[in-house]
């Protein structure tokens, strides 16, 4: 990662973390459930998805005559909502009934600390509160005097995020993942080829990455053709990101990744390296990024979004 991109992402993470601290229903909800939600939400991590929301908003802002600072402030509630949805999915994915993982972002997972029941509730709370951040006027994470997107745009973002998080997106992808691992008694395990693996990743991981980017474009009010270009870019980068995730699960260490290494292979999960090998998997990811960058060029976009696409190939955690 270039020094400039690294510093920029760190700046965005700082803004996002500060806003996320304001997102939890302190005082209004039982302390126990808020503590469990905070454990799942504030444990660090790359903050890739909310950063992508802010980056996209800033990248397209000049097209509608909006300054970068105002675009960032306008997109911040949606960015926080994206991260809350992502963290809810991690809390639930780590449960014994799902991936049964005990380490996340270098720390014990939520169910290890709080128990399975409260981890389920914490995930439910994060998912539900996410939509409230966007719907509320003003949003609890908005800075004083921050510009607010019109209700129509916020409603479009809610629609996009709900589809990405629901049965068509993440929930459906996790269901396919469970069946592929032979963990659904009512449905026998089936072999998974390239098409099925791509579909699973598109739902489980890619859907929210796409929604994160789309949300940033929609909230500032760009035309639909630009939203479509951003969507395709995020689709390709999202797949590259997941492929490299699969590779790192094979090649990385728990210390580097902040989560259990080798768990996909141990669980018999379908992955790109298992299907194609390491070298071919990396080649597929390179092709994804090339298509993503070409789409940005055609739309007159680029900058940080291009740098992020390149970073998705070279990251080590």
Ranges of each domain in the chain: 3-314
pLDDT exceeds cutoff 80 at 219: yes
Strand, coil or helix: 103: strand
Count of positions (residues) in the chain: 317
Task: Specify the DSSP element, H or E, that contains 108.
Answer: strand 107-108
pLDDT exceeds cutoff 80 at 1: no
- pLDDT tens-digit readout, 176-206: 999 988 899 999 988 888 899 999 999 999 9
CB hemisphere CA count around 201 (13 angstroms):
23
Work out the number of other CB atoms within 10 angstroms of the CB of residue 95: 17
- Confidence class of residue 266 from pLDDT cuts 50, 70 and 90? low
pLDDT exceeds cutoff 90 at 130: yes
Mean pLDDT of 201-227: 97
Please give the pLDDT value at position 2.
Answer: 67
- pLDDT tens-digit readout, 14-73: 999 999 999 999 999 999 999 999 999 998 889 999 999 999 999 999 999 999 999 999
User: In the CATH scheme, what architecture does the domain 3-314 have?
Assistant: Orthogonal Bundle (1.10)
Please give the pLDDT value at position 317.
Answer: 80
pLDDT exceeds cutoff 80 at 261: no
Q: Helical H runs in 166-223?
A: 170-180, 194-201, 207-220
Please give the pLDDT value at position 303.
Answer: 85
pTM of the model: 0.93
pLDDT exceeds cutoff 90 at 263: no
Mean pLDDT of 82-108: 95
pLDDT exceeds cutoff 60 at 255: no
- Confidence class of residue 312 from pLDDT cuts 50, 70 and 90? very high
- pLDDT tens-digit readout, 274-304: 999 999 999 999 999 999 999 999 999 988 9
pLDDT exceeds cutoff 70 at 259: no
Q: Which two tokens stand for residue 243?
A: 């492929």
Residue pair 49/15 in contact by the 8 Å Cβ criterion = no
Burial (CB count <10 Å: 0-12, 13-18, 19+), residue 150: exposed
The residue whose two tokens read 């699973």 is: 200
Mean pLDDT of 152-173: 97
pLDDT exceeds cutoff 90 at 227: yes
Please give the pLDDT value at position 264.
Answer: 60
Please give the pLDDT value at position 251.
Answer: 86
Residue pair 158/139 in contact by the 8 Å Cβ criterion = no
């Amino acid at each position: 990662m270039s020094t400039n991109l690294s510093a920029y992402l760190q700046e965005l993470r700082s803004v996002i973390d500060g806003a996320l601290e304001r997102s939890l229903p302190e005082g209004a909800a039982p302390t126990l459930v808020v503590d469990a939600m905070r454990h799942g939400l504030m444990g660090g991590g790359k903050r890739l998805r909310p950063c992508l929301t802010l980056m996209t908003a800033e990248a397209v802002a000049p097209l509608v005559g909006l300054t970068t600072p105002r675009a960032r402030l306008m997109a911040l509630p949606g960015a926080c909502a994206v991260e809350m949805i992502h963290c809810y999915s991690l809390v639930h994915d780590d449960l014994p009934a799902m991936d049964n993982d005990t380490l996340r972002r270098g720390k014990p997972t939520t169910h290890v600390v709080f128990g399975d029941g409260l981890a389920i509730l914490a995930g439910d709370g994060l998912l539900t509160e996410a939509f409230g951040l966007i719907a509320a006027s003003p949003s609890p994470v908005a800075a004083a005097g921050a510009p607010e997107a019109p209700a129509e745009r916020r409603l479009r973002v809610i629609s996009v995020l709900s589809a990405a998080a629901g049965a068509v997106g993440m929930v459906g992808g996790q269901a396919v993942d469970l069946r592929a691992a032979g963990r659904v008694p009512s449905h026998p395990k089936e072999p998974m080829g390239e098409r099925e693996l791509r579909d699973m990743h598109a739902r489980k991981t890619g859907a929210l990455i796409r929604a994160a980017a789309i949300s940033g474009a929609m909230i500032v009010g760009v035309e639909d053709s630009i939203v479509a270009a951003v969507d395709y870019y995020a689709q390709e980068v999202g797949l590259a990101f997941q492929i490299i995730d699969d590779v790192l699960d094979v090649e990385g260490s728990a210390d580097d990744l902040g989560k259990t290494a080798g768990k996909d292979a141990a669980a018999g999960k379908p992955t790109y390296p298992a299907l194609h090998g390491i070298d071919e998997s990396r080649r597929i990811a390179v092709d994804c990024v090339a298509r993503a960058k070409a789409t940005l060029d055609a739309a007159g976009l680029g900058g940080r979004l291009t740098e992020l696409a390149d970073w998705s190939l070279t990251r080590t955690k």
